[in-house]
Amino acid sequence: MSFIRAAWAGWASDRGLDPDEVLAAIHMTGSELIRRFAPDADPAAEIRLISARQSPLEGSLVPFPGASELLARLPDRAWAIVTSARREPALRHLATARLPSPRTLISAEDTPRGKPDPSGYRLAATRLGVPPETCLAIEDSPAGIRAAVGAGMFVVGVTNTHGAPDLAAAHAVIASLAALASWVRRSARAIRAARIPD
């Protein structure tokens, strides 16, 4: 979501901060970012300023290739989104991109620490009613991968926003969400073929 990065980079420049440093920590919640880089500022007021920067840019939001098709195939109760963003903008961004909203959305309001802290992923598994080790997490950032791995999930990295070397901590790395279905089919065949009879 380049418009989010653009808004945070603009905020950093306005405050005399290095935008690259701020963007390197963008996986954190907004409040965490502000406390880290502008400790004397009021996080709520700063988030309002950043949100105002994002609003005119939101119309440019389009889903990553394969996202719509993937979500259309999943049962409503079988998936969740874990984000360091606040709930309201996350839901608005999904609607703008014409993507369905999940029944389970873990946002900045649900957990005080953003990625790479695993608490968001653990909470998602709890709300889905499944053990974390039975979950497949799909991530496109190093911090998100660390969070999902830390929660005990199997993680597939997708090279939407980072290259494969940056996603090396994932259990598998694929080029796009469109490639996920064929990756799952190939992996399932390999697992069946590797089973040793009792």
- Is residue 198 very low, low, confident or very high in pLDDT (cuts 50, 70, 90)? very low
pTM for the model: 0.77
C-alpha 138/C-alpha 145 separation (Å) is 8
The model's pLDDT over 140-197, given as tens digits with 9 standing for 90+, comes to 999 999 999 999 999 999 998 889 999 999 999 999 988 887 787 777 666 555 554 4
Q: Is the peptide bond before 116 cis (omega within 30 degrees of 0)?
A: yes
Q: What pLDDT is stored for residue 192 in this prediction?
A: 58
Structure tokens at 71: 């979500």
C-alpha 153/C-alpha 25 separation (Å) is 23
The model's pLDDT over 75-124, given as tens digits with 9 standing for 90+, comes to 888 999 999 888 998 999 899 899 999 999 999 999 988 899 999 999 99
* Burial per residue of 165-182, b for 16 or more beta-carbon CB atoms within 10 angstroms, e otherwise: ebbeebeebbeebeebee
